[in-house]
Structure 1
Amino acid sequence: MNFNLLHEIVLGFMVVLLLVAVAVIIERFIYYSYIERSRKRLLGLLAKGDEQAVLKETKGSSCPHARLIGGMLALKGLEKDAFESKVQALYLTQQAGVKRLLWMVDTTITLSPLLGLLGTILGIIDTFNALASQGVSDPQAVSQGIGTALFATAAGIGIAVVCLVFHNYFSERVERINEQLKVMALDQAGAVAGEGSGVRGGREPARIQPQAAAA
């Protein structure tokens, strides 16, 4: 069995894993920046109380805040219990989009060190096989082979460290967005349910149980 070939395959797979993780990190950076801009724009419209402008802003938007408010406006006129249940469902529905693709970064954190260790083991096995068949005629070549094998472990740990930093950062962003969604839902629930008229930027007593709405 060609262990050196397997070692190279493992390194190639690690490169693919890194490229996928980098693509996800860039996509999440762009997405969360878009969410923050959309949220601020939506809050400005809510503060003005212009329901038509809010409806226009929320129509077709991929921002979870806009989708939440748009869904709440569509539920206007329902009885209080039904409305609150629907709002809780709307809140929970937004979680999937906010956390989308982060599992790939998390998988990279776990998998890359293991692949690095596997690559190192395969590289060392190949080096020892060469020693067994050819003897220690060139110590420098043996040292170089072991060094190449250990490179896989170093690369795996390096990839995991970088991805861990970004994963923790994104997890904090997800938690912040969830809290913003919860506050926005509580803030607008009374007005949309019929206790006021239109949308608003002020606050009403909480109608959604935080325990039921928690992510």
Structure 2
Amino acid sequence: MLEFIKQGGPTIYPLLACSVIGLAVVLERLFYFFRIKNDNFRMFRKIEMMIAEGEITRAAHELKSERGPVAKIIAAGLAHYGQDRRVIEEHIRVAGEHEVHKLEKNLAILDIIASISPLLGLLGTVLGIIDSFNILSTTAGIAAPAQLSSGIAAALISTAVGLIIAIPAMLFYSYFVSIVDKNTKEMNKWSVELIDLLSYRGEKDVQI
């Protein structure tokens, strides 16, 4: 394995660093998205029933045990129950932006790795070819296969490693972006229902 790495040329080391960082990001994001997976429909309807029964404190306490961005924006709206609709909307919007930021955490790093890895592999290819031409030039065009092997190996290995890193990184990046989009749509959907629910209940309580 060490010999393989040595044959890859100087660009193999940043490529290995990219692989380690990329793997860490993928594992962290998979764990995070697994933890926030939730049945938002069931949760919202349960909270809706509690609000209808006037059990606001119980609903807020119930949300503390729930995970996911939708639970956070419901908690943010519920914390300002009875206030003006615009106030509720603003706090839900701020909470939603914060949750989107958490959903997108480290995805930019994965995108960069997917973009830069093939370029590093290509750089290794160019350097390897340059080494091969240098060997040929110093031997008047006649060189033993062993003399050319290091340059050719660097050219091929670095390119292969760059693609091996970039392809899974791009696939996971696209997968994570789809999860972010799905959660964002869920937040938007339930935010609208929550604002209508809290505003209606607040106005009803004021009239009583």
TM-score normalized with structure 2 length:
0.79
2:90 maps to 1:73: no
> Which segments of structure 1 move beyond 3 Å, counting only runs of 4 or more?
37-45, 50-54, 57-62
Give the CA RMSD over aligned residues: 2.8
Provide the secondary structure at the position in 2 that maps to 1:36: coil
Of 113, 119, 141, the match for 1:108: 113
The CA distance in 1 between the partners of 2:34 and 2:41, in whole Å, is 11
Q: Distance in 1 between matches of 2:137 and 2:102?
A: 55
Assess if the C-alpha contact under 8 Å between 2:60 and 2:79 holds in 1.
Answer: no
Query: Between the two proteins, what is the percent identity of the paired residues?
Result: 27
Gaps of 5+ in 1: 198-215
Deviations 1:76-119 (A, max 9, x none): 22212232233223222321011111001100111001111111
Determine if contact 1:76/1:194 at 8 Å carries over to the other structure.
Answer: no
- Mapped to 1, the partners of 2:171 and 2:69 lie a distance apart of 24
Partner of 2:169: 163
Change (3 A) 1:140 1:153: same
Paired residue for 2:15? 14
Partner residue of 2:201?
A: 195
Candidates 96, 101, 109, aligned match of 1:96: 101
AA of the residue aligned to 1:18: S
- 1:176 matched to 2:177? The reply is no
Give the conservation status (yes or no) of the 8 Å contact 1:73–1:192. yes
Deviation at 1:17, TM superposition (A): 0.5
Provide the C-alpha distance between the structure 1 equivalents of 2:176 and 2:106, rounded to a whole number of angstroms: 11
Aligned twin of 1:153: 159
Structure 1 range deviating more: 99-108 or 68-77 = 68-77
Query: Please, what TM-score do these two structures have when normalized by structure 1?
Result: 0.77
- What whole-Å deviation, never above 9, does each CA across 1:182-206 have from its counterpart, x for those lacking one? 1111122123235369xxxxxxxxx
Aligned length: 193
Q: Which residue of 1 aligns with 2:145?
A: 139
Instruction: Indicate how the Cα distance of structure 1 residues 128 and 155 shifts in structure 2: closer, same or farther if over 3 A, else same.
Output: same
Decide whether the 8 Å contact of 1:121 with 1:149 is kept in 2: yes
Displacement after TM superposition at 1:160 (Å): 1.4
- Tell me how far apart the structure 2 counterparts of residues 97 and 61 of structure 1 sit (CA, whole Å): 16
